[in-house]
Structure 1
Amino acid sequence: MGTEANENSVLMGDHAKNKKDVDYGHPPKDGHNENSLQFAGVLLVCQIIFMILFGLFVRYNDGGVDADMDRTYPWFQDTHVMIVVGFGFLMTFLKRYGWSSVGFNFLFTGFTIQWSLLCTGFFHDILHTITSDAHGSNHTADLTIQLNMGRMLEADFTTGAILISFGAVLGVASPVQLLFMILFEVVFYNLNAVVVVNHIGASDIGGSMVIHAFGAYFGLAVARVLYKSDGQMDNAAEGTEYHSDMFSMIGTVFLWMFWPSFNKHIQNATLAGGVAMGTAANMQVQPFGALFIGFSAGLLSTAGYQYIKPFLAEKFSLHDTCGVNNLHGMPAIMAAIFSIIHCAINDHGEPDGHQMMPQVFALLATLGTAIATGTLTGCFLRLPAVEHLGAYEYFEDGKYWEIEEEEED
């Protein structure tokens, strides 16, 4: 009896210690791998290259005069709040990854905006100029990138797609992997946007296909390739606590407030309706149609968390940290389907009637491009030379942030 009691006491003590370490405190720092200079090195090299490219190609629009400043700056301001505060705090639900969620979101937002301005300018200014000159319609080729509020707003939208992908691998991808993911994804995002909008001619005023669907399925493809069976699934550190959920709710409220088209359940299902409404937002769906779309998206998102996410994790080893498939992916597909139905119903001389097939092709092109390019990017991120996280470091701030260790009783 004495031996059994002592063993039970030891087990209970170990359990209490593990529960404290896993559920509430950060584990000892000596368990982390040594940090390499790779993250700082990649960031430094990219920043120097960005400055050189900006010096060579980027110029303020019309000598610094932006005629639409009064109209576009409030949009940019609202979108910027959503990107930095909304997305940043939405991801703080992980109880031991709050600094990384907000801090890396902030850092990568600035990084992505710079790279996006260069890539968007290449596709819309330089490439357009070269193409026009090749057809003899432009004899004064000016290979510069115009910088104005419209481009800044577009850069924020691009950043939104990147941060959606970020959510799929939150806590399991290293900052180095995320930097390389941004470098690849911004290029592929702009390529898909040019094809969908300029060549297919799809109507996607709220960006449900171009932003949400692309970002979600690109990120999910990366997540599937990066998956390792060493602690990503059912990791105790992936859980939430009271305060982390409250911080996450801040992000939900800011997203819901600052993007009127944005109409775990309450934290994401409340936003899914806006994603589902995005593609058809400028179509005559009437208030009843908007309410029905939002209601349906809320049901789909909640069902996704309850049934679809566990199914994908078990059957396909797809670890989706933030549930981007439920918030962005499936509602974005729903948005495209609703727009297709609307265009089909109005295919009798109505302005939206000719849009049905472009909407179909745009959805297929976006899903195909996102999954294919996400898979290729994930394969690159798995290279041994690229810094990655170990099982001890998943969903944990301690590797990259100075965290005060709690004293044991």
Structure 2
Amino acid sequence: MDSIHQNFIYLDYNSTTPIDDRVLNEMLPYFSANYANPSGSHLFSLTVQDAVEQASEGIAIGMGTQSNNIIYTSGATEAINLVLKGLQFSNKKHIISISTEHKAVLETCAFMEQWGFEISYLKVDHQGMVNLESLVETIREDTALVCAMLANNETGVILPIRQITEIVHQHHALVLCDATQALGKIDINLRDLAVDFMVFSAHKFYGPKGVGGLYMADGAKKFLTPLIHGGGQQQGWRSGTVNTTGIIGMATALRIALEDLDKDQARIIQLRDYLESELLAIGDTFLNGSKTNRLFNTTNICFSTVLSEQLITRLGTISVSSGSACSAVTSRPSHVLKAMGLSDMEALSSIRFSLGRFTREVEISQTIMKVKQLVEKLRA
């Protein structure tokens, strides 16, 4: 990771993470020496198949489930599409989403309207928390699914998924939980969460890009329809040759993330709090979201009257974000911050700083100094 740090101060870990060298080393043999297709029947294929199965067991154990409940996809976005579009033949035609969900959820929900589904959007308060009473009031007999992310990608705010699940199941509907930002950053036990579907991506916890997954509870599988048909791989849920290197890399990345979680959290939270306290000491700034109920690596700060687009450009080799990685190139205000009650100008003046395993204190000090200089200059 040193080559990255020679050129950039990277504070955009919620967008993606650099692959850990330990993960890459586990993957490399499966690009070259152990290249057989795990779906084959000969001994070479069977040895690779065994490695994939062991990796799957590791991923399942890390999430508190069984490997036959996990389908591997190209990432969380595909997994979200698999769940939502897989409901096309459902007799129930009502879906509930929280207004601060990722665009992958919101845009797929909007697409479902073409198939006769009605979508309800739950509001959040100024800290990004959902009112559970509004969920009770919104859920109906024909509600098929409720979408609720575990941790928000822009603010880091953590939602009470277990309580949401209990309410939804009382009304005989299903829960889709987007855990893309949470897996590897907080301890997740699917037996405790009791969600019906959960999606995740390896590149958010120092694994490879292009691989992720969908957890499906046993009782929820019957409600879905596969998107991809073909050779019948993965129990017929997603045909096509499985991503051997990706699955092995993801398993290694998750194991390391969980093993190092306490150590990483203790170090990163100190750096985040240092960064946050110094930046909030600048006049006319405020924190977006909850100060306590959030991911340990994330802070989202509004620098009033300073356009984040201008600030990010002038920060140059300091990599930060104005919102979701999937929409950060646009100059539209963040839908997450708008849903939390910010004005267009406040949302357009907000920056997300997300720290990670390779963030160093000297980088935080340099960022503080540079941001303070630029905010003063841009306001002047």
Q: TM-score surpassing 0.5?
A: no
| Greater helix share, structure number | 1
TM-score, reference length from structure 1: 0.25
Q: Which has the larger radius of gyration?
A: 1
* Higher RCO (CA 8 Å, separation ≥ 6 residues): 1
TM-score (norm 2): 0.26
